[in-house]
């Protein structure tokens, strides 16, 4: 799912790796590194400011993949949640991600929309060290011990141990790009800067380059969303950068051994069936991880409770019955199995989230209008989810198909399924008897809760049945339960239902 999240700080853990340090710019070294031990660095107020101070502190470096591997293993040992807020993946996706990180593999996530692909990618940042040293002013975050760009190599050669360094936070080591048809090689990798050429440099001089987003994410994590939408010529450029560590700009070659964890996302249909990924680039991803929608209604509800938008204005309090949440989640699960709805692009969890927001909003609107103390969603609020559902699902061959009818059928199936988890229709004969004698009830999303009170006085046994759901005596909660029971009996073919203008009548 593509939602905002709070990053949690993690303590740097001891590592066991030993990297031989060389100050020779020509000796082949890993492209970039991060600290081996948090204890190697002085407290924040005493962090080294120059290359000489950094060497004297005993700082050692590791590659970004080794850094992530070390921190992940430390978190697993400490039994810390590695991907907080990711629901339903504990036994499927998360172990595969952990294996890929421990193996030092680039990752591609395959899944339909709303399966938390972007969220997992962004949380990978938490596996980076809190800070790493970089050469101050470097565009590509060069390691002071192993600079790779021409400008920094020249600077270290000139200034030596007096070279100034800065400290880069983990949040600044993440780059993300949505693949769109208008992306150019300059956006991703770089291009010649005409201003630098005008200053007197030769066109073939590496210092004339203006770096793109990938080099600027050096020593970090770079993510590409919807990789199949990236043009083939850009995929070739990306492959060359990752595999050969070189790029060609305006006909000249630049050696740029970047140290990057590459992560991408794609829809399985685009990635596997249409052949829109060049084979060499596909081979660069060591782990191909398939995401999925919540397997259970319970997981769906947990995600909705975590993500739905709430406003703490204090004007109206609200209460959401569990069966309303279950119906909302079940509607989405029914949609994922419906032959009338296209499954190639998926039915996102966002459908459940926005549908819950909609029924709660209608309950609040009713409470404000009728001056009620508590807003409680009812079955009669569900027709309003048509507006929050139709934009998020695609119908299969939607000619001659009525979107509203399809969604209404999903609501009916979901309500029946949830009702039958709570009640057996044959056990409610005492409630049905008054209807056989000609009694009827009216419900509406605009009726006050107090209008329902007389129903359990007129229907023997109704109050007892309602207490199975809750012991709350609030009129707003009781009105919601009554609607749920009446609708459930109708869907079990024990009551008839007639829709009139603005209201529904249950009876026989």
pLDDT of the chain along its 508 residues, tens only?
333 333 333 333 333 333 333 333 333 343 333 444 433 433 344 789 999 999 999 999 999 999 999 999 999 999 999 999 999 999 999 999 999 999 999 999 999 988 999 999 999 999 999 999 999 999 899 999 999 888 899 999 999 999 999 999 999 999 999 988 888 888 888 777 666 656 666 555 666 777 889 889 999 999 999 888 888 888 887 887 777 766 666 666 667 788 999 999 998 877 765 557 888 888 888 999 999 999 999 999 999 999 998 887 667 899 999 999 999 999 999 999 998 888 877 899 999 999 999 999 999 999 999 999 899 999 999 999 999 998 888 877 655 568 888 999 999 999 999 999 999 888 888 888 888 888 999 999 999 999 998 887 888 888 888 888 887 889 999 999 999 999 999 999 999 999 888 899 999 8
Bin 45: left if φ > 0, else alpha if -120 < ψ < 50, else beta: alpha
pLDDT of residue 322: 95
**Do the Cβ atoms of 261 and 255 come closer than 8 Å?**
no
Q: How many CB atoms within 10 Å of residue 90? A: 12
| Greatest Cα pair distance in the chain | 100
Q: Which residues pair with 260 in a beta bridge?
A: 220
pLDDT of residue 427: 84
pLDDT reported for residue 461: 86
401, burial (CB in 10 Å: exposed 0-12, middle 13-18, buried 19+): exposed
Closest CA to 12 of 222, 172, 170, 173: 170
Look at the block and give the residue holding tokens 């005993």: 58
Tokens of 216: 């600027």
pLDDT of residue 401: 62
Residue whose tokens read 């994410």: 217
What is the per-residue pLDDT for 245? Answer: 67
Tokens 């959401």, located at residue: 320
CB 161 within 8 A of CB 50: yes
The pLDDT, as a whole number, for residue 250 is 61
Kindly write down the DSSP assignment for every residue of 217-234, as one continuous string. Answer: GTTEEEEEESGGGS-HHH
Q: What is the pLDDT of residue 117?
A: 93
CB 285, CB 108: distance < 8 Å:
yes
**From the DSSP assignment, how many helices (H) and strands (E) are in the chain?**
19, 18
pLDDT given for residue 1 in this prediction? 38
pLDDT at 508: 83
Location of each CATH 3.40.50.300 domain in the chain: 34-290
DSSP string covering 325-345, please?
A: HHHHHHHHHHHTT-TTB--SS
What six digits make up the tokens of 167? 């400290």
**Dihedral (C-alpha) 443, 444, 450, 456: value to the nearest 10 degrees?**
10
Q: What is the predicted pLDDT for the residue at 20?
A: 31
Other C-beta atoms lying within 10 Å of the C-beta of residue 159? 14
DSSP 31: S
CA count, 13 A, side-chain hemisphere, 485: 29
Extract the tokens encoding 321.
Answer: 């019955």
Packed helices 403-422 and 475-491: angle between N→C axes, nearest 10 degrees: 100
Residue 97 in contact with residue 107, Cβ under 8 Å?
yes
SS3 86: coil
Considering only the top CATH level, what class is 34-290?
A: alpha beta
């Amino acid at each position: 799912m593509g939602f905002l999240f709070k990053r949690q700080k993690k303590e740097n853990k001891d590592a066991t790796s030993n990297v031989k340090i060389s100050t020779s710019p020509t000796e082949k070294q890993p492209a970039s590194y991060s600290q081996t031990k948090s204890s190697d660095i002085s407290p924040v107020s005493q962090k080294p400011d120059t290359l000489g101070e950094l060497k004297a502190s005993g700082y050692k470096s590791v590659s970004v993949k080794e850094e992530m591997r070390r921190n992940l293993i430390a978190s697993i040992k400490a039994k810390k949640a590695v991907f907080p807020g990711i629901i339903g993946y504990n036994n499927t996706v998360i172990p595969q991600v952990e294996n890929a990180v421990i193996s030092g593999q680039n990752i591609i996530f395959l899944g339909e929309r709303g399966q938390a692909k972007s969220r997992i990618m962004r949380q990978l940042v938490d596996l980076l060290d809190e800070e790493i040293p970089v050469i101050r002013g470097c565009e590509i975050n060069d390691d002071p011990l192993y600079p790779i760009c021409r400008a920094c190599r020249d600077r270290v050669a000139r200034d030596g141990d007096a070279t100034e360094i800065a400290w880069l936070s983990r949040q600044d080591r993440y780059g993300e790009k949505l693949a769109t048809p208008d992306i150019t090689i300059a956006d991703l990798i770089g291009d010649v800067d005409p201003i630098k050429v005008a200053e007197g440099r030769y066109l073939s001089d590496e210092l004339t380059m203006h770096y793109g987003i990938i080099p600027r994410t050096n020593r970090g994590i770079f993510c590409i969303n919807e990789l199949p939408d990236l043009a083939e010529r850009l995929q070739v450029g990306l492959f060359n950068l990752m595999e050969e560590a070189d790029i060609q700009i305006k006909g000249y070659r630049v050696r740029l051994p970047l140290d990057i964890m590459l992560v991408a996302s794609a829809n399985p249909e685009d990635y596997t069936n249409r052949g829109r990924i060049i084979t060499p680039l596909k081979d660069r991803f060591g782990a191909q991880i398939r995401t999925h929608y919540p397997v259970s209604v319970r997981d769906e509800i947990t995600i909705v409770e975590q993500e739905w938008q709430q406003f703490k204005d204090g004007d109206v309090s609200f209460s959401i019955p569990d069966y309303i949440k279950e119906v909302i989640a079940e509607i989405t699960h029914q949609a994922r199995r419906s032959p009338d709805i296209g499954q190639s692009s998926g039915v996102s969890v966002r459908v459940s989230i926005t549908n819950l927001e909609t029924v709660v909003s209608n309950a609040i609107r009713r409470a404000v209008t009728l001056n009620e103390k508590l807003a409680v969603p009812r079955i009669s609020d569900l027709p309003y989810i048509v507006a929050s559902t139709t934009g998020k699902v695609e119908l299969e061959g939607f000619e001659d198909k009525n979107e509203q009818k399809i969604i209404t059928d999903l609501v009916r199936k979901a309500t029946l399924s949830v009702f039958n988890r709570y009640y057996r229709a044959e056990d409610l004969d005492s409630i049905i008897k008054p209807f056989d004698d000609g009694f009827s009830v009216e419900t509406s999303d605009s009726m006050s809760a107090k209008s329902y009170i007389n129903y359990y006085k007129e229907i023997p046994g109704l109050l007892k049945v309602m207490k199975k759901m809750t012991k709350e005596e609030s009129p707003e909660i009781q009105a919601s339960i009554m609607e749920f029971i009446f609708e459930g009996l109708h869907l079990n073919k024990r009551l008839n239902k007639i829709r009139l203008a603005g209201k529904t009548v249950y009876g026989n």
